[in-house]
Amino acid sequence: MKNLVKTADRLLRCAIASGDVPGVVAAVTDRNKTVYEAAFGERVLGQGPAMTTDTVMWIASMTKPVTGVAAMQMVEQGKLSLDEPASKVIPALGEVKVLEGWDGDSPRLREAKGVITLRNLLTHTSGYAYDIWNANIDKYLNVTGLPRTGTGRNIALTTPLASDPGTRWEYGIGIDWAGKMVEAASGQQLGDYMKQHIFGPLGMDSTAYRITPSMRERLAKVHQREADGLLNVTAFEVNQEPEYEPGGGGLYSTAVDYLKFMRMILNKGRSGGRQLLKPETIDLMSRNSMGALRVVKLPAARTALSCDAEFFEGTPKTWGLTFMINEAVAYTGRPAGSLAWAGLGNTYFWIDPKNGIGGVHMAQVLPFVDPRALAGFYAFEKSVYEALG
């Protein structure tokens, strides 16, 4: 990958110069070590300091695979089951209704057909949906005054289902509930469990729900793309005293730390002398776990937070146990069978088991899949595969 440094550095510098993002960190790892890392731009637009590879960022839904690992550790220990009713662990999951429609502004609810399982929660087939990409759930929150999941309040998870369990893929709050199942099975708060069983063993010292003083010194601000294309600094920060720690989002981390997590996946659950998950568990997480269902485009209901979202439109995609899996070669060069996902603030990662590599491209910009930020990620990934030859 001799040409990667020159090509990737040029792409990332151009992205900063053109105003695509205020700052970006990008890095690539193989199974053993980091083979490329760079940082350009500023942590806070127009204010500095400069981005560094250890800059702390809100990684939002890049939290989900971490929760997936925690859940599968519980499955390995026999404390959770993928396919038994999740209500055996959390009774409320057996009482949730489906939002069938509306009578004016009155929601029409009915009993769900089928039961929610941990597999449903981890694959986004539980029927739960995010208000950001589901107009009906967005309306339900507006009509009822229910707080949104980003508030960190428990009541925010009591939305109805948008569809019956197991009938469609729809991105939603299921992995927040999976995180609560981990808490119930382990007897620990989710962040504490992750620190003891994932972050500690992997040496991820700058990853947590709560921003430590050391992390805050390196923290990048979230920026908002306005209608005129310009970026403004926001005051956004994840609630630091939430009622629950969300398995679906909320972690802060660095590119350096997240590569350590990715290397563990590339090494079949092993890191150094520790085996965090069995190789067969990693294999299970890395293949289709939702049958004939497929990932579909997410239509934005709250456009300040997200554009319409679909990666590699036209490429068939399935879902493993917390990873999106492309079923054909992507135009960037990413092979079929690779694992990936992203965070709302335009943080992206992919893991390529075939070639034994993975990469991150992390900015702090809203809305999600902002065309400029997404184009920068795709260009970076393409440069990696071109260098790989």
Task: Please identify every residue annotated as catalytic.
Answer: 61, 64, 171
Total Cβ atoms within 10 A of residue 152? 19
CA atoms of 328 and 314, how far apart (whole Å): 10
Are 319 and 283 contacting, i.e. CB atoms less than 8 angstroms apart? no
Contact 70, 79 (CB under 8 A): no
